């Protein structure tokens, strides 16, 4: 395509705190690859952590390095196909609207070969390694290992931007696997938690209780289908949940807040033999009395990572409104104002939920 400019605007990450808006060479499609013109790219909590120098990303404090810099950040992007290389898999056309999964699996490791590609040993993710540069740029390359999905042309960008985060929410709900006899407590209703409210609602639990320290978020959770909402900063939520369950506690506790106190709170309010689902990523190690899990409650403890086999359903559910999206993408900034965008995403300023950059 001759109308693809030689260079493009991109945000480039060099080091913790050293991100620069630059003019860089536009990627072109090689064998099995496509180029998208980016419509918008959401800012993830992970992007904020990378900017602020999380040791697990940058290989500090003796941890293995994850980021390969200089890299263009952003894994929550939607764009239109402007170039298709030779031998691209799938029936793609110029102008198709695409949202890829965030993971770009190697296809060769034990996990990939057994269908568990989201736990790929190599684990490249758009926007974290420079062989899979992300969407905070005018154009982005969909590499041949990527997993692209078709987004309906008439889906508003505010909805399309939630396909990636809500797919992670759906995977979490799948792991929690509530039935209509379960009392489910969901701790933390940011963007991902709000997606879980929609996903949990579809499974019709006996009672769905959302917890958050932020009343604006709680109001949103209620509007999206939570049966009850409670603010742990204002009331004794452990006692309240126990009172609601004959003193036993909730059947399933989903930790999606990222606050260490929410882990203890969950261990306190979950019933014996309940299911504790850990979704969050924490800024530092969490300390609890581990023997609650064994000796005192015999809990099932489940982790959650990414969004396998979720995109098709989530695109459908966002489209038909059963995964509510109203107002979740709350702020959009031009790429030039990326610093403001990251600040809003980091602080939740002006009641922001999901913040997006428009290149």
Residues lying near Zn ion in the complex (CB under 5 A): 44, 105-106, 109, 112, 120
CA–CA separation, 21 and 38 (whole Å): 16
Min CB(309)–Zn ion separation in Å: 16
CB of 105 to Zn ion, least distance (A): 5
How far is Cα 132 from Cα 146, in angstroms, rounded to an integer?
Answer: 9
- Which residue number, 73 or 274, has a Cβ lying nearer to Zn ion? 73
Q: How far is the CB of 25 from Zn ion (least distance, A)?
A: 26
CA distance 178 to 206: 9
Identify which of residues 108 and 349 has a Cβ nearer to Zn ion in the complex. Answer: 108
CB-nearer residue toward Zn ion: 106 or 358? 106
Place of tokens 């999964």: 101
By beta-carbon proximity to Zn ion, the closer residue of 86 and 115 is: 115
Cis amide linkage into residue 53, ω under 30° from 0: no
Nearer to Zn ion by Cβ, of 41 and 230: the residue is: 41
Map residue 87 onto helix, strand or coil.
Answer: coil
Nearest distance, CB of residue 121 and Zn ion, angstroms: 5
**Shortest Å distance, C-beta 142 to Zn ion:** 17
Other CB atoms within 10 A of residue 25 CB: 10
List the structure tokens of 256.
């999606």
**Contact present, 149 and 99 (Cβ < 8 Å):** yes
Beta strand 207-211 with 228-230: parallel, antiparallel or unpaired? parallel
Residue 68 DSSP one-character state: B
Minimum Å distance from CB 303 to Zn ion?
17
Residue closer to Zn ion (CB basis): 123 or 275 = 123
- d(Cα 262, Cα 352) in Å, to the nearest integer? 22
């Amino acid at each position: 395509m001759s109308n693809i400019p030689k260079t493009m605007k991109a945000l480039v990450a060099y080091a913790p705190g050293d991100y620069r808006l630059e003019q860089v060479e536009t990627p072109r499609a090689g064998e099995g690859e496509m180029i998208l013109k980016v419509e918008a790219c959401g800012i993830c909590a992970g992007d904020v952590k990378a900017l602020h120098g999380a040791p697990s990303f940058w290989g500090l404090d003796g941890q293995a390095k994850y980021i390969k810099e200089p890299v263009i950040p952003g894994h929550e992007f939607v764009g239109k196909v402007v170039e298709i290389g030779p031998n691209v898999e799938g029936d793609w056309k110029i102008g198709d609207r695409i949202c890829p999964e965030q993971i770009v699996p190697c296809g060769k490791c034990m996990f990939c070969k057994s269908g568990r590609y989201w736990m790929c040993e190599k684990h490249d993710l758009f926007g974290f390694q420079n062989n899979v540069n992300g969407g905070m740029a005018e154009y982005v390359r969909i590499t041949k290992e990527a997993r692209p999905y078709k987004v309906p042309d008439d889906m508003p960008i505010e909805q399309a931007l939630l396909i990636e985060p809500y797919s992670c929410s759906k995977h979490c709900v799948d792991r929690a696997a509530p039935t209509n006899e379960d009392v489910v407590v969901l701790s933390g209703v940011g963007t991902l938690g709000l997606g879980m409210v929609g996903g949990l609602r579809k499974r019709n639990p006996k009672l769905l209780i959302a917890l958050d320290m932020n009343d604006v978020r709680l109001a949103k959770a209620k509007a999206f289908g939570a049966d009850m909402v409670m603010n742990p900063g204002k009331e004794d939520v452990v006692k309240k949940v126990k009172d609601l369950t004959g003193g036993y506690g909730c059947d399933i506790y989903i930790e999606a807040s990222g606050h260490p106190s929410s882990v203890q709170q969950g261990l306190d309010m979950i019933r014996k033999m309940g299911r504790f689902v850990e979704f969050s990523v924490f800024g530092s190690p969490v300390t609890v009395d581990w023997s609650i899990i064994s000796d005192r409650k015999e809990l099932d403890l489940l982790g959650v990572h990414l969004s396998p086999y979720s995109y098709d359903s989530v695109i459908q559910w966002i489209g038909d409104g059963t995964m509510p999206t109203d107002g979740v993408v709350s702020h959009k900034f031009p790429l030039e104002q990326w610093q403001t965008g990251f600040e809003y995403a980091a602080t939740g300023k002006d009641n922001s939920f999901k913040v997006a950059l428009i290149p």
